[in-house]
Amino acid sequence: MSVSVHVIDGVYGRAVIGMSVRLDRYIDGSWIEQLRDKTDDDGLSGGPSASLERGVYRLELDLDGYFSSLGITPFYPAINIVFRIGDQNYSHRISLLITPSAYTTYQQN
């Protein structure tokens, strides 16, 4: 089972390239880093190489770094999404549509 992330810029209608992404797992009361990456030319991060066990995870995306490179100060400097992996037979994709003042996310199997 794996998790990948797909990020789209809702202002410019294009893939978000070079955004820092971190994935942590909650183990015994602490967040332990599992993956640190940047989105590629298609706005993707993670995938088959990010094989994960069942548990609770936190995905953090650096909006401040991305939007500041465009000369924009976002309202949300970072997005943290906490989610649960319960079935190891699925590959999950977490998709995000971001703007400097809003975001929406959904999970695809």
CA distance 64 to 2: 26
CA distance 6 to 96: 6
- In contact, 5 and 46? CB cutoff 8 Å: yes
What predicted TM-score, i.e. pTM, was given to this entire model?
0.88
| Residues 40-62 pLDDT 10s | 999 999 765 556 788 999 999 99
Into how many domains does the chain fold? 1
Q: Which of 101, 13, 98, 15 is nearest to 59 (CA)?
A: 98
β-pairing, 91-98 with 30-38?
unpaired
CATH label of the domain that carries residue 45: 2.60.40.180
The pLDDT-based confidence of 88 (bands split at 50, 70, 90) is low
| Domain containing residue 17 | 2-108
